[in-house]
Amino acid sequence: MDEPFARARLASLLEGADRPRVEERARALERRVHALPERAMRRAVLREALVDLHVPDLVALLAVSHERGRHGRGDSRELLQELALEPTVFHDLAYPVVHQSYALASDAGLPGVAALFLSARGQPNPTVEQAFQGNEHLDHPVGVRRAWARGGDRDRLDRLIHDRDWRVIALLLDNPRVVERDVVRIAAMRPTRPEVLELVATHRRWASRYVVRKALALNPSTPAPIVRRLLPTLLRQDLRAGLETGCLDPELAAEARRLLAAGREAG
């Protein structure tokens, strides 16, 4: 996302006509989290609420909750505590989103918000074992996990999204209860196994979704032939994001620069 636009958008959300809408969204999320007694359910709600937000909207929502917490709102403090206790919520965000959110919050003088992104920002390339810590069902046989992947238990599906077995992921991708944001999380996870990303990149339902293609193209774990095929389908700002965040290897970065240059000449 263009930095001047992001700063202007954040200012509008925090200080302009859009402020009431952000406050209402923050209050609604705080009420939902407060009403849930189980940590796992809270984690699922937070992931659902945050994973699809654009960078300025994400930063604004967290900034408003921080402000409300400083003014003694118990539900706000509870929400922020939950985010602090469950940092894996931010690990589910694509790394460019984490990087840009941290930079935007820092530039806007919101250190408390910026700090929330530090753990995910500081580990853009965890080990494979670290990347799959969110799945508490890995000690179950693959047949059991595959059966769960066909089911409708939302909490189990959230955990199985972290599964390392392509046979489980294949069933998740076909599960009608799995939605676009779930597939983006699978496509953006780093590192992950190439066969998992190949499944996403060739899936009859999900491969055509732009946000899924973007997550695949900007994931260093995606096989180079897939990334090379996807780069020409990306918008210019997303090609620039791939270059700025360093997620493309040298050959792919050169291809992204060539596409940007060709676009300028065509314009």
Domain boundaries in the chain?
3-121, 140-174, 179-267
Q: What tens digit of pLDDT does each residue of 31-51 get?
A: 988 888 776 777 778 888 888
Q: Do the Cβ atoms of 10 and 108 come closer than 8 Å? A: yes
Q: Is 109 left (phi over 0), alpha (psi -120 to 50) or beta?
A: left
Query: What pLDDT score was predicted for residue 259?
Result: 92
Q: Do the Cβ atoms of 259 and 239 come closer than 8 Å? A: yes
**210: confidence class by pLDDT, cuts 50, 70, 90:** very high
Measured in residues, the chain has a length of: 267
Separation CA 95–CA 131 (nearest Å)? 13
Q: What is the DSSP letter of 232?
A: G
Cα–chain center distance at 92: 5
Query: What pLDDT score was predicted for residue 262?
Result: 81
Sign of CA dihedral 214, 13, 79, 156: negative
Separation CA 52–CA 37 (nearest Å)? 24
pTM of this prediction? 0.53
How large is the average pLDDT for residues 245-253?
Answer: 87
Separation CA 118–CA 32 (nearest Å)? 25
H/E element, 20: helix 19-35
**130: confidence class by pLDDT, cuts 50, 70, 90:** very low
For 72-76, 127-131, 148-152, which range has the lowest pLDDT when averaged over its residues? 127-131
